[in-house]
A = this chain, B = another copy of it.
Amino acid sequence: MRELCLPVGLSGDDLKAVDAAVGNRTRLKKGDSLYRTGDSFAALYAVRLGTLKTTVLAEDGREQVAGYHLQGDIIGLDGLGTERHGCGAVALEDSEVCTIPFEHLEELARDVPPLQRNLHQFLAREISRDHGVMLLLGSMRAEERLASFLLNLSERYRARGYSSTEFVLRMTREEIGSYLGLKLETVSRLFSRFQEEGLLKVSGRNVKLTSVAALRQLVGQRG
């Protein structure tokens, strides 16, 4: 348990204290809910292994994927300082998470300034991430959205030491569509079109990006 779930630039005693704040790992099977919208909030979670999706729920029951979370991501931040989780989290494949009891973390943040700073950065990053999604949903065309999504995944896999051009989608076309504000048929058509145009090769959930440059161009073409 030497390894740290919350990647902070700490040392010595501080580090030990943080270690102590991080609870043990929880295993999740594909389809398991880590928490649901409205569950009482008690902890953050660090994804150790696997992939989760978080979903937001409208009053009328509509549900939408708010994000996909890979190894190293911290989730549950939206419930911070409040009573209840504002969204739900579900494992898209067998996964593992560390529980970080929030009561404890908040206390620790008071004693360890770098940790406080780090927590704030996580929160701000989450807000920035959401702003990026808003930009995507509000001003991009369908093909730009999918290209953007794929490039984002690519980048994140790269940062984790996996191939940035060849990976397995852990979500269905419908889930991708939900995240991108598109219908599943539209997503499917786009994959086919991208393949025709030589941007990628796709076979079910296996994707191989063959022209990252072209995908990039596709995203940034509207002024």
Contacts and interface: CB of A to CB of B under 8 A. Distances in A.
B56 A221 contact: no
B135 A138 contact: no
A110 interface: yes
A190 interface: no
Contacts of A137: 134, 137-138, 181
When all copies of this chain in the complex are counted, the total is 2
A60 B110 contact: no
Interface residues of A, number: 52
Chain A binding site: helix, strand, loop or mixed by DSSP? helix
A61 interface: yes
Interface in A132-181: 132-135, 137-139, 178-181
Contacts of A82: 121, 124-125
Nearest to A220: B60
A106 interface: yes
A2 interface: no
A132 B78 CA distance: 12
Interface of A: 56, 58-62, 64, 66, 77-82, 86-87, 106, 109-111, 113, 116-128, 130-135, 137-139, 178-181, 219-223
